[in-house]
């Protein structure tokens, strides 16, 4: 059974959710995106879309500032593992977002300050 490593870095906790939103949006297969149907009123749909777009944008900025140096500008990996692709999806797809949030929120080591 796969057990993700446990790391500690409270400074990452502050932006884990936006980074997760960015990573989720960047790696979500088109088929999965098309399978999900949610019916909202136009106003609720617009508000939801704006909130998600805002979080993804914020996550992208934070990723570039704190993560891309090791994981690559396009999630392709570098001195740290890739955060996209078949191997990444096979390892992390089955984990609930809360588990990935806890993993990112607990990182430490050679991460930028």
Where are the domains positioned within the chain? 10-28+40-105
Confidence of residue 15 (pLDDT cuts 50, 70, 90): low
pLDDT of residue 21: 62
pLDDT of residue 93: 83
Contacts of 26 by beta carbon, 8 Å cutoff, 6+ apart:
75, 84
C-alpha to C-alpha distance for 24 and 21, rounded to whole angstroms: 5
C-alpha to C-alpha distance for 59 and 41, rounded to whole angstroms: 27
Measured distance between the N- and C-terminal CA atoms of the chain, rounded to whole angstroms: 32
Phi, psi of 84 (to 5 degrees): -150, 170
pLDDT of residue 73: 92
pLDDT of residue 38: 59
pLDDT in tens, 26-64: 555 544 545 555 565 667 667 777 777 888 888 888 889
H-only helix segments in the chain: 10-13, 16-27, 30-35, 42-66, 68-71, 86-92, 97-105
C-alpha to C-alpha distance for 71 and 52, rounded to whole angstroms: 23
What is the three-class DSSP state of 75? coil
For the entire predicted model, the pTM comes to 0.50
C-alpha to C-alpha distance for 18 and 3, rounded to whole angstroms: 24
């Amino acid at each position: 059974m796969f057990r993700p490593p446990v790391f500690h870095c409270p400074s990452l906790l502050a932006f884990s959710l936006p980074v997760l939103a960015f990573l989720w949006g960047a790696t979500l297969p088109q088929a999965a995106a098309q399978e999900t149907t949610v019916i909202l009123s136009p106003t609720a749909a617009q508000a939801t879309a704006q909130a998600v777009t805002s979080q993804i944008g914020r996550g992208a900025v934070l990723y570039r500032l704190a993560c891309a140096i090791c994981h690559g500008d396009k999630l392709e990996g570098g001195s740290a593992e890739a955060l996209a692709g078949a191997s990444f999806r096979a390892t992390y797809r089955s984990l609930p977002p809360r588990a990935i949030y806890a993993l990112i929120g607990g990182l430490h080591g050679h991460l930028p300050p």
